[in-house]
Amino acid sequence: MTTTLTLIQPDDWHIHLRDGAALSTTVPHAAASFNRVICMPNLVPPVKTTAEAIAYRERILAALSNSDITNERKAGFDPRMVLYLTDHTSADDIKMAVESGVVSAVKLYPAGATTNSADGVTDILGRAPVFEAMQKYGLPLLVHGEVTHNNVDIFDREKRFLDDVLSKIIANFPALKIVMEHITTADAADFCLAQGDNIAATITPQHLLFNRNHLLVGGVKPHYYCLPILKRANHQQRLLEVATSGNPKFFIGTDSAPHATHTKESACGCAGCYSAVHALPLYAAAFESMNALDKLENFTSVFGARFYGLPVNTSSITLIKKEQTIPESYPYLDGKSLTPLLAGQTLAWQQV
């Protein structure tokens, strides 16, 4: 007997769509599953102003219009924009963002933390006027929670960020809404649980399904490489526990990040896992491993919307317990290819 799982249409509260020709691939892939998507602003150049955010949204919607995705999915897709926080962002920028109606958050990248983060903040606690404005208007701060000091071990950078940076931001701006994005450690999960309702966290499918052994044992596997990097198995287990607990502080954020295959399988080894096409079957596998499929809908479709103060979607999607083989690659960028997470491997679930 086939197991069928019907969910309220999910949103993705952390996704990378890139720009230009990449959008013809990434936008239809995202729109096939998700209604609202929080679009990361670390483009080249970054999305720093409301005007740039509006222009980027128009490019995304143009790519959607030109795709062969169904009209129903086109109508439901709502890219929500994010401003890239820099040392020059002002309180006026925040006011304009809120008034635009399309900017849903501001992203904090410590300078050099991940792909295209060179324009990130160098003095985080020096951003007080911006944080005060965000607190005033209820605009969430999304944090890539890692320090970037060369002398800090890459596996310890999230914990150090909690201790050295995030705890101070919260102490100074106690009403600021914050999303701890793509948390990877038990430390981050427990830190989030210890905070008020204005602090939440997203969790990716790769951090629920894999740990650093998957990345490193038997040779380095570049398509498991992301930032923050995969951690020990005990951290993976703690993320599974909180994700499937039914606690509204934790919700979906795929961090799906496309890199052309030749840039992943190179000395660069670009950080990011591409999961947009099959993210929901990946999450279903993770939740099933914890006997918690009954908790999946709130995680993917309810808790994030409520945190952002948006209505829960009214449409639905269906997953079935039927094996699928993930494609080896997708066409991408002028004849190049894009390798998805678990390329060529079998998943127990699929979206219909």
* Strand-pair partners of 336: 332
Is 87 one of the catalytic residues? Answer: no
Is 255 annotated as contributing to ligand binding? yes
Is 235 annotated as contributing to ligand binding? no
**What is the helix (H) or strand (E) element at residue 14, kind and residue range?**
strand 12-15
Is 209 annotated as contributing to ligand binding? no
Q: How far apart are CA 112 and CA 133, in angstroms?
A: 25
What is the distance between the terminal CA atoms of the chain, rounded to a whole angstrom? 16
Is 227 annotated as contributing to ligand binding? yes
Q: What φ, ψ does residue 202 adopt, rounded to 5°?
A: -105, 155
> Among all chains, which residue has been given the structure tokens 């498991």?
224
DSSP alpha helix (H) spans, 173-266: 186-193, 205-209, 212-216, 233-243, 261-264
> Among all chains, which residue has been given the structure tokens 């990449």?
22
Is 259 annotated as contributing to ligand binding? yes
- Cβ–Cβ contacts within 10 Å for residue 254, how many? 30
Is 74 annotated as contributing to ligand binding? no
Q: What φ, ψ does residue 82 adopt, rounded to 5°?
A: -135, 135
> Among all chains, which residue has been given the structure tokens 């079998």?
346
Of 119, 187, 255, 294, the active-site residue reads: 255
Is 59 annotated as contributing to ligand binding? no
Is 139 annotated as contributing to ligand binding? no
Binding site for substrate: residue ranges? 16-18, 42, 144, 227, 259, 271
Active site amino acids: 255
Binding site for Zn(2+): residue ranges? 14, 16, 107, 144, 182, 255
Binding site: residue ranges? 14, 16-18, 42, 107, 144, 182, 227, 255, 259, 271
